[in-house]
Amino acid sequence: MTGLTDTVRRFREGRDAVPPFFEGATEGPLAVGREIFENPRTIELPDGRDLGYAETGDPDGEPGFLFHGWPNCRTFAAAFDAVGRERGLRIIAPERPGFGISDPDPGRRLTDWPADVTALMDHLGIESAPVLGVSGGGPYALACASEIPERTPRVAVGCGVGPMQAVSPAARGPFTVARYAPGVIRAYLRAEELAERYAPEKLIERRAATAAEYDADYWRSEAGELLIATAVAARQGHGNEHLVTDLRLYATDWGFDLGTIDVPVGLWYGRADRLVPVDAGRYLERHVPTAEAHFYPDYGHVSVVQENKSAIVDWLRR
């Protein structure tokens, strides 16, 4: 439990404080996340920006890229460390501009992301590698499938955000607000950040209470603690502004045609997902010519990926 001493210390240290649940972790994904947080890796991009990234999984395995969700960052790679080691996959997780320790990229578009990924591949001496985009990372994975297919020959999307026309007007709400009334989203994110830092256990209970039934136990496990910790780490360098940017980008024209994608695309969605409706997956199944879709009746936003990690990694390594 978070005590008064921890709260005061975190307040004094601000966004440089070790995120809740990483503190004192000595094994498992939380320890991996702490290692990532405390030992940052960056490269300088051609335009002078720094790009943060992490590596987990099997260091001697075949490379694969993981694009984190929203509002997460490179520390989310800890969630795939064990399966990467089991399946022989070296997992490389870059952070989007303005997240964690990655420098902002003012005026960025979804279609700018493939150039950052290409620069990181070149830096690491990787010719090509499969990509997994989870939740908010889904559109960025699809952008790579469209724009740099020679570098990303297989692309998986787990509970990924879809184009706004894929879902109901109600489901578009946060994205539309971010586009037209960003101050409302900034205020919401500030409140969420305070809860993540100073009352993380209560926040987990709130997440579990409002999640799909299959997600509740995951929220109360290390998986949920990691999601809270990595959301805190996402704000480390630049606060909440670039989380707002991501929401806005999802709500605008993505800048590429899903119908021109010709690399294999795997889709994993839960019909009980209360954050990204399954309609997003159904839309992608209809509009991406190469889509291979997997839908599950009871899984939610967290469980659909947690329950299928091995299957997704095996699909990526075909």
Per-residue pLDDT of 166-202, as tens digits, reads 999 999 999 999 999 999 999 999 999 999 999 999 9
Average pLDDT (241-266) is 97
* Residue 133 phi, psi dihedral angles, 5° rounding: -110, 120
Structure tokens at 201: 């256990």
Give how many domains the chain has, as a whole number: 1
d(CA 242, CA 128): 28
User: Which domain covers residue 204, as residue numbers?
Assistant: 4-316
* Residue 92 phi, psi dihedral angles, 5° rounding: -120, 125
pLDDT-derived band at 256, boundaries 50, 70, 90: very high
Average pLDDT, the chain: 95
> Please, what is the angle between helix 138-147 and helix 113-124, to 10°?
80
Encode pLDDT of 67-103 as tens digits: 999 999 999 999 999 999 999 999 999 999 999 999 9
Q: In Å, what is the CA distance from 31 to each residue of 66, 91, 206, 288?
A: 19, 16, 24, 38
Q: Is 285 exposed, middle or buried (0-12, 13-18, 19+ CB in 10 A)?
A: middle
Question: Residue 60 maps to which CATH number?
Answer: 3.40.50.1820
d(CA 85, CA 88): 5
- DSSP letter string, 261-300: --S-EEEEEETT-SSS-HHHHHHHHHH-TTEEEEEESS--
> Are 244 and 175 a contacting pair, CB within 8 Å?
no
Average pLDDT (115-120) is 98
Residue closest to 268 by CA, chosen among 213, 219, 308: 308
The CA-based angle 85-140-208, given to 5 degrees, is 65
d(CA 171, CA 158): 18
pTM: 0.95
Which element (helix H / strand E) includes 222? helix 222-234
Average pLDDT (226-240) is 96
